[in-house]
Amino acid sequence: MTTSPATDPLAQDFVRFAVDAGVLRFGEFKTKAGRLSPYFFNAGLFDDGAKLGRLAEFYARRLLASGLAFDMLFGPAYKGITLAAAVAIELARLGRNVPFAYNRKEAKDHGEGGTLVGAKLAGRVLIVDDVISAGTSVRESISMIQAAGATPCGVAIALDRQEKATENGADAPWSAVQYVQQRLAMPVAAVATLADLLQYLDASADAGLRAHLGAVAAYRERYGV
């Protein structure tokens, strides 16, 4: 007999918010791995002040509850820049004021120069991004943080898709998040996961939303970890 995972109220509230905001959509979408996914999460659609502020609240609450120890935030270009800034503001509002920094894609050859902007990278640095698709952004961020003499200490993301990564065109036995956790030795704090999304659909009183449960469950059965 299998037991259902305990319901995470913060994750359920976040999934509801993402669906209501049109950021989490259902249908048929092609992923970078070439899979046809029955859902799509686009954090770039948290595109006004109210939605971004609410998103930052979810990140901050998850981080404070996670127990992850960090001294500052780092946002990898491009989506991570806005996320790190917004989360820093929300953490300060909650009484946890920390510096933040981000990188440019291209080095600046005038003014302060370089690729890093914001606070000097120092101490334990937490990377803030929307999702982890292949771990590439995380690896690049780790290299920048270490090159600056600081210590990367973890990653915060909005959604863990909990699906197999691809390696050399084939399905890997691990997910991108597991790769970061196990191979890069970085803890990952996700506001919500695919399991939370399935719980939300299963409990929804909206028949239109519940209609997507079968497709999402089948997708996880095929590609989940």
What would the two tokens of residue 71 be? Answer: 């001294």
Residue 188: enclosing H or E segment and its boundaries?
strand 188-193
- The torsion defined by the Cα of 173, 4, 54 and 205, in degrees rounded to 10, comes to 120
Q: Is 110 a catalytic residue?
A: yes
User: Do 175 and 225 contact (CB within 8 A), yes or no?
Assistant: yes
Question: Which residue type does 155 have?
Answer: V
> Of residues 110, 120, 164, 212, which has the active-site annotation?
110
Angle at 32 between CA 10 and CA 30, to 5 degrees: 85
Determine which one of 108, 120, 164, 212 is catalytic: 108
Catalytic positions are 108, 110
